[in-house]
Structure 1
Amino acid sequence: MRSGELVPAFSAGRTAAPPGVPPRGSLPVVTASLDLTADPVELTAALVDIPSVSGGEKAIADAVEQALRAQAPHLEVVRNGDAVLARTNLGRASRVVLAGHLDTVPINDNLPLTRTGSGADEILHGCGTVDMKSGDAVMLHLAATLAEPRHDLTFVFYDCEEIEAERNGLNRIERELPDWLAGDLAVVCEPSNAAIEAGCQGTMRVEVRTTGTRAHTARAWMGENAIHAAQPVLQRLGEYTPRNPVIDGLQYREGLQAVRISGGVAGNVVPDECVVAVNHRFAPDKSLDDAEAHLREVFDGFEVTVTDGAPGALPGLTAPAAAELVEASASEPVAKLGWTDVARFAARGLPAVNFGPGSPTLAHTKQEHVATAEIRHCADVLTRFLR
């Protein structure tokens, strides 16, 4: 058995699989023996073959916890639900937090892991290869092999990132173990094409509502059609010119899009209500209040209800530790066009970047795959930065 391989163990554990996990019998129940000092590619393969759909992370959290306790005696390790946290306590002048989620979206006939190519062209295929067990593997490898890093290190492997925000493991950790999220720089190892993606966009969802008066369609002149009244809303969206601001030398691209429209009562009734759902992606130089004020200005004259929102994160590349990471990467950072958990760290005052193997465009797809060269590149860059 190679280091990092899985040991099949058909145990009498939980009988019901988490949502999205194939029923018992279609995939073996496994206990995993992880070699954290092995090639991060092999560690990725071992992690991918442990199904861990959101809400079903116990097996992978057990494996990660056991491996860290056995192979990284220089780390303080704690378990929090199905999250595992580890850190050095060397008294360094600064601390870097590395974070990655252990869960995946539901399996889509893409487990167990398969491989194509060879050598530098080898590719790993399967659920979680990109989002984000290759990033987790890099973190675990660093945790075991960097006993004397230049910065103190905190590693956060957390649960339930892929589902509703209130169940995100970082929320629970922030409530129960807030000191474990303190530091001078956060690196979230989400897929970023092995490039540094700094900060992230904010997001806000609103509903723009129009009203009318019901009437029989045979006597439509007696009513007022709320769907027709939404035409100016759609026109404003079609004519909208988004900002493309440059922040810390990085260009962000804002957007404003209708994502759903609903209305109508019956096939013979003039509708008295129409709702256009709109999603605004905004650059991190805007606050949530700024974003809301902007949307109310765009849709002035209409009823606007905010249904959801999350602030962005400024790049923070001028922070000393962030500048060191950029130097170690020997490449130009880019703006993160999307929202990730870097925003949670930024809200706590930490500069935060995304840096991990794999293309974000492949996340959540049946075709999810990652080049092994990117896994090794990310491990090399972070080792140079932290050693």
Structure 2
Amino acid sequence: MDANASVVDLTRELVSIPSYDDETAAGDFLEEWLRREADADTTITRDGVGNVIARKGAAGGETLALVGHHDVVEPAASQVASDDEYTVEERDGRLYGRGTADMKGAVAAAALAFVEADPAGELVFASFVGEEVGGVGARHAIDEGFTPDYAVVGEGSTGYSSPGVTDVAVAHKGRRGSTITAVGTAAHASEADAGENAVYRATDAVSVVRDLEPPAVEVAGERLEGSVVVTEIEGGTAMNVVPDRCEVTVDERTVPDERAPLERVEGIEGVAWTVDQDLPPMRCDDETFAEAVREAADAAQSGTPERVVKPHATDAGWLSAAGTECVVCGPAEPGEAHTDTESVSIDVLERCRETYRRVAEGWTGE
């Protein structure tokens, strides 16, 4: 089997296996493939939530991990062939199907690189579950002691500096989703002064949010700027009743080491603020590692990759928060993930496979 067919075939196999609300079958396939293809000295484990983790090379020194996830978002009807198979199509040098870009193509490239590489130190391959629902697998692995020194996370970084170039993301935003709850006292609308209008209190809180200055940091010569946006509001029970409760949803895109001071809304009487989800941002502080990955990506393609920043949260955020130096480098292009026409370039899959292998064989952490 030639090199190009290998990455195509493995991606096809992975993408065809449904893994939206149950990742078990995709994890089974990955585990069985690794046991068949990896060297005898490779240690392969499947943890309690279904993460697939393999290790080889010299233990005791610096550890490099190639990281991905094998869960996907809900497929469109056109991406489902049957109850137990997703559709995968190849045309015009691309593979189409749910998970091709996000991110089973990168998982296939990383798995192949892991098997092929003669690593400079300890090399780890990890494919997590539950990335699309808040990093369930990554968080579990970290809690169980998954602490690589360095990681290349295969989320999309292609087409950021220029079309077709696979760059290296050295930072990305996080996401904090929260709810502002305003409570008041109900009254008949004809006697509004007898009550306390929760919607008015909520709109006062919204005014506070609108006046907040989103935090920003400089990374890799680019300004990574957060945002704070009110996205939903719900309150009231009837046209003629002063509302006693109103809830406002806030979407905040966070940057490393900074958060917008949303707690200020609690200075308003009757208003409380709760955090519902907090996906951490990521920033690589080891420039030597970031440059080593960029050089590997440069050697694997004709274009010149750059160090860039990424707007979306990934499992790199959880790893970074736990102390791992991370970069993001993968085949997906902006706008491909989660779409009904999701696809990935076959040439870029092979490029990423080569990049991962080069990093694994060249990086020692010294």
User: TM-score band (shorter)?
Assistant: 0.7 to 0.9
Structure 1 counterpart of 2:155:
190
For residues 241-263 of structure 1, the C-alpha deviation after alignment (integer angstroms, 9 at most, x for no partner) is: 42332035342111001121111
For residues 256-285 of structure 1, the C-alpha deviation after alignment (integer angstroms, 9 at most, x for no partner) is: 011211110222211122221212222102
**Equivalent pair of 1:130/1:360 in contact (CA under 8 Å):** no
The 1:137–1:211 alpha-carbon spacing in structure 2 relative to 1, beyond 3 Å, is: same
Q: Which runs of 5+ in 1 are unaligned?
A: 4-34
**Selected match of 2:31 from 58, 61, 65:** 65
Compute the displacement of 1:125 (Å).
0.9
For residues 81-139 of structure 1, the C-alpha deviation after alignment (integer angstroms, 9 at most, x for no partner) is: 4322111132584221111111112222213111221xxxx121111111110111111
The 1:49–1:206 alpha-carbon spacing in structure 2 relative to 1, beyond 3 Å, is: closer
The structure whose RCO (Cα within 8 Å, separation 6+) is larger is 2
> Aligned partners of 2:318, 2:203: CA distance in 1, in Å?
37
For residues 338-358 of structure 1, the C-alpha deviation after alignment (integer angstroms, 9 at most, x for no partner) is: 221112211221111221111
> Aligned partners of 1:214, 1:107: CA distance in 2, in Å?
44
The 1:347–1:90 alpha-carbon spacing in structure 2 relative to 1, beyond 3 Å, is: same
* Local SS of the residue matching 1:100: strand
The 1:281–1:313 alpha-carbon spacing in structure 2 relative to 1, beyond 3 Å, is: closer
The 1:204–1:63 alpha-carbon spacing in structure 2 relative to 1, beyond 3 Å, is: closer
> Aligned partners of 2:193, 2:59: CA distance in 1, in Å?
77
> Aligned partners of 1:93, 1:265: CA distance in 2, in Å?
62
Structure 1 counterpart of 2:176:
204
**Equivalent pair of 2:282/2:320 in contact (CA under 8 Å):** yes
**Equivalent pair of 2:182/2:272 in contact (CA under 8 Å):** no
> Aligned partners of 1:36, 1:349: CA distance in 2, in Å?
35
* Local SS of the residue matching 2:103: helix
Please give the TM-score of this superposition, normalised by the length of structure 2.
Answer: 0.83
Show the 5 A alignment for 1:1-387: 38-55=5-22, 57-73=23-39, 74-81=41-48, 82-91=50-59, 93-109=61-77, 110=79, 111-117=86-92, 122-146=93-117, 148-163=118-133, 165=135, 168-176=136-144, 178=145, 181-193=146-158, 194-286=166-258, 291=259, 294-297=261-264, 300-301=267-268, 303-310=271-278, 312-330=280-298, 331-387=305-361
Q: Which runs of 5+ in 2 are unaligned?
A: 80-85, 159-165, 299-304, 362-366
The 1:184–1:377 alpha-carbon spacing in structure 2 relative to 1, beyond 3 Å, is: same
* Local SS of the residue matching 2:44: strand
Compute the displacement of 1:51 (Å).
1.6
Compute the displacement of 1:77 (Å).
1.4
Compute the displacement of 1:313 (Å).
4.2
For residues 322-350 of structure 1, the C-alpha deviation after alignment (integer angstroms, 9 at most, x for no partner) is: 33112222321112222211122112211
**Equivalent pair of 1:142/1:383 in contact (CA under 8 Å):** yes
> Aligned partners of 2:4, 2:91: CA distance in 1, in Å?
24
For residues 182-238 of structure 1, the C-alpha deviation after alignment (integer angstroms, 9 at most, x for no partner) is: 322111112232322223323323322333332222333443432233333333444
Q: Which has the higher strand share?
A: 2
> Aligned partners of 2:266, 2:218: CA distance in 1, in Å?
26
**Equivalent pair of 2:189/2:240 in contact (CA under 8 Å):** yes
Structure 1 counterpart of 2:83:
none
> Aligned partners of 2:179, 2:140: CA distance in 1, in Å?
30
Q: CA RMSD in A?
A: 2.6
Please give the TM-score of this superposition, normalised by the length of structure 1.
Answer: 0.79
Percent same amino acid among aligned pairs? 30
